[in-house]
Amino acid sequence: MYYMSGDAWKEGGIDATGALMVLTLKIISCAINYSDGMLKEEGLRDAQKKYRLPKLPSLIEYFGYCLCCGSHFAGPVYEMKDYLEYTERKGIWASPTPSPLLPTLRAIVQAGACMGLYLYLSPQFPLSRFSEPLYYEWGFWHRLFYQYMSGFTARWKYYFIWSISEAAIIISGLGFTGWSDSSPPKAKWDRAKNVDILGVELARSAVQLPLMWNIQVSTWLRYYVYERLVQKGKKPGFLQLLGTQTVSAIWHGLYPGYIIFFIQSALMINGSKVIYRWQQAVSNPVFHVILAFVNFAYTLVVLNYSCIGFQVLSFKETLASYQSVYYVGTIVPIVVVLLGYVIKPAKPLKPKARKAE
């Protein structure tokens, strides 16, 4: 646990865990895709068919993929098949690609803005405040607001590094993903897009968060964990979601704060699904808007409450911060999920087929 948590790396003053985390995902996906390449396409999922490797990559190709400098330190992770087509100038790279200059500059400007905001906010909302007596002298709403601002502040450093990584992949040409269907068609550069900032901060549902935050890792988890935990002929449920979040927690490191956060996130997403089902079942537009706001507020509060564990990492500090707001971000999702078994929205009636006269 000592080595897997990352503490041993920090003793030397250089933390290499980020690069190793990216490398781990690349190695696993490469091995699984090669294994899928030996199977028949019949019965495979769409993602398996798309990324399977029927031929073993050479050592140069393998190490080039694993150690690609544009994404080695902070991601994003991408597929070996895409990398091979890029290096061999096949697929969408067979034709001349458009200039990456403008999208690269956009990513760099975004990175600068994110870092500036983080440097401005971080001294005002330090993590150390959670262990200070002053924090516990505040009232409930003040502490809850500080938790929100702490999570909000921390996210900007991730927005910064992902924007820089996106710029590196775009300028190399690997970030190109083809052309849009609009008229005239526009070049798409979203292979390295790892976050939708407004999508995260204004998420209307916790279900949207994996689609907006750490996008490429979320996609990896969906392809290589979530979908593979679902048995054929069955629908995914909470156990598949919990299993996926547990894998994500272990991948981040064996700190109690990570494990608690990802278990929390599974509860949060499941609770948000319940609220959404209630929202879709309501015909009154006023109640529909009210439930939409409830889902938004629920996501905002529970996300930033849960984020504290991701930041402080230790078991004692995580529980202390949760206890300071009476475990509201844990109790509410559990209550909502349990209510989902009691208050079940009526399913829409299917139109009956007309009998042949």
d(CA 303, CA 300): 6
Measured in whole angstroms, the distance separating CA 61 from the mean position of its chain's CA atoms is 28
Name which of 239, 257, 238, 237 is nearest 249 in CA terms. Answer: 257
Residue with the two structure tokens 């607001």? 145
Q: What digits encode the pLDDT tens for the residues 129-155?
A: 999 999 999 999 999 999 999 999 999
Residue 16 structure tokens: 């290499």
Is the model's pLDDT at 288 over the cut of 80?
A: yes
Is the model's pLDDT at 261 over the cut of 60?
A: yes
Distances from the Cα of 72 to the Cαs of 139, 153, 169, 309, in angstroms? 44, 25, 11, 26
pLDDT more than 90, % of the chain: 76
The residue count of the chain comes to: 357
Distances from the Cα of 116 to the Cαs of 129, 211, 265, in angstroms? 22, 25, 28
Q: What digits encode the pLDDT tens for the residues 298-336?
A: 999 999 999 999 999 999 999 999 999 999 999 999 999
- Residue spans per domain, the chain: 1-95, 97-195, 207-345
Is the model's pLDDT at 12 over the cut of 70?
A: no
The continuous run of DSSP H or E covering 320 comes out as helix 315-323
Q: Give me the pLDDT at residue 357, please.
A: 37
Name which of 334, 335, 331, 314 is nearest 323 in CA terms. Answer: 331
Is the model's pLDDT at 6 over the cut of 60?
A: no
Q: What digits encode the pLDDT tens for the residues 40-98?
A: 988 899 999 999 999 999 999 999 999 987 888 888 999 999 999 999 999 999 988 89
Please spell the DSSP secondary structure of 299-316, one letter per residue.
HHHHHHHHHHHHHH-SHH
252 is catalytic: yes
Q: Give me the pLDDT at residue 64, please.
A: 94
Average pLDDT, the chain: 90
Tell whether omega for the bond before 96 is within 30 degrees of 0, i.e. cis. no
Determine contact, residues 212/203, Cβ cutoff 8 Å: yes
Determine contact, residues 257/314, Cβ cutoff 8 Å: yes
Q: Give me the pLDDT at residue 355, please.
A: 44
Q: Give me the pLDDT at residue 60, please.
A: 95
Reported confidence tier of residue 193, pLDDT bands at 50, 70, 90: very high
pLDDT more than 70, % of the chain: 92
Reported confidence tier of residue 2, pLDDT bands at 50, 70, 90: low
What mean pLDDT comes out for the span 206-217? Answer: 94
Choose, from 72, 142, 252, 288, the residue flagged as catalytic: 252
What mean pLDDT comes out for the span 281-286? Answer: 90
Is the model's pLDDT at 354 over the cut of 50?
A: no
